[in-house]
Amino acid sequence: MQVEDKILFNEIKNRNLKVYESLFINYYPQLVKFAQGYVFDKQECEDIVQNLFINFWENAERITFDISLKAYFFTAVKNRCLNYLRDLQIHDKLNLLYLEALLNQDNGEEAQDPELIIKINAAIAQLPEKMVQIVKLKYLEGKKLDEIAQIHQVSKNTVKTQLLRAKTRLRKILVQSTSVKFFL
């Protein structure tokens, strides 16, 4: 660590607000731009960097490092961005598991998450028309396989096959729409 960085860091530990503001003004724009290389949401990047500076100020007495302040800030932002993406991916995987649970229910209970319902409806709309009708009869109206087969004048096995194909396609559509968030 350079002498200048040691002096600045000691001033932060001593609660010198002017030094803190100077560091914030100097590094904030660079760090937000850097974060946008990982997270493609400017508002989220700004939140990540602001939280870093808040944490840096509140925990300065406990922070130890042997690298420059600049390297510390950039490494911390990178790690926070990766944590954010990991948490986002976990959230999306949980939504996919929730979708599968909904599709495996036989009683047609309604979902509790309105945002997820919108995503599911958009994914269902991408299915072939006959498949959409079968999915809606099964999961929205709660019809039994025999009833659906009668309505569409097909065998019960055809209905089962259509439902399995619908689940596979929905899973694929939702996974693709999820990955777009990470790789745009």
CATH of the domain at 25: 1.10.1740.10
Q: Is residue 128 one of the residues assigned to a domain?
A: yes
Structure confidence at residue 100 (pLDDT): 60
Q: Is residue 96 one of the residues assigned to a domain?
A: no
Q: Is residue 160 one of the residues assigned to a domain?
A: yes
Domain co-membership, 80 together with 151: no
Question: Which residue range is the domain that position 57 belongs to?
Answer: 3-88
Q: What is the identity of the amino acid at 35?
A: A
Domain co-membership, 169 together with 118: yes
Domain co-membership, 113 together with 48: no
Which residue has better confidence, 172 or 181? 172
Cβ atoms of 86 and 122 within 8 Å: the answer is no
Rounded to whole angstroms, the Cα distance separating 33 from 37 reads 7
| Percentage of the chain modeled with pLDDT above 70 | 78
Say yes or no to pLDDT of 96 above 90: no
Domain co-membership, 30 together with 84: yes
Q: Is residue 154 one of the residues assigned to a domain?
A: yes
Domain co-membership, 42 together with 116: no
Structure confidence at residue 64 (pLDDT): 79
Assigned token pair, 151: 């309505």
Cβ atoms of 40 and 184 within 8 Å: the answer is yes
Q: How sure is the predictor about 91, in pLDDT bands with cuts at 50, 70 and 90?
A: low
Residue pLDDT, tens place only, 101-146:
655 554 444 445 566 667 777 888 888 888 888 888 887 777 888 9
Residues 6+ apart with CB under 8 A from 45: 32, 35, 36, 39, 81
Domain co-membership, 75 together with 44: yes
**Between vectors from CA 101 to CA 95 and to CA 102, what angle results, nearest 5°?**
90
Which residue has better confidence, 28 or 105? 28
Domain co-membership, 75 together with 116: no
Distances (CA, A) of 111 to 71, 124, 135, 139, 165: 46, 15, 15, 11, 21
Domain co-membership, 54 together with 116: no
The least confident of 5-14, 40-49, 72-81, 170-179 is: 170-179
Cβ atoms of 3 and 10 within 8 Å: the answer is no
Domain co-membership, 24 together with 77: yes
Domain tally for the chain?
2
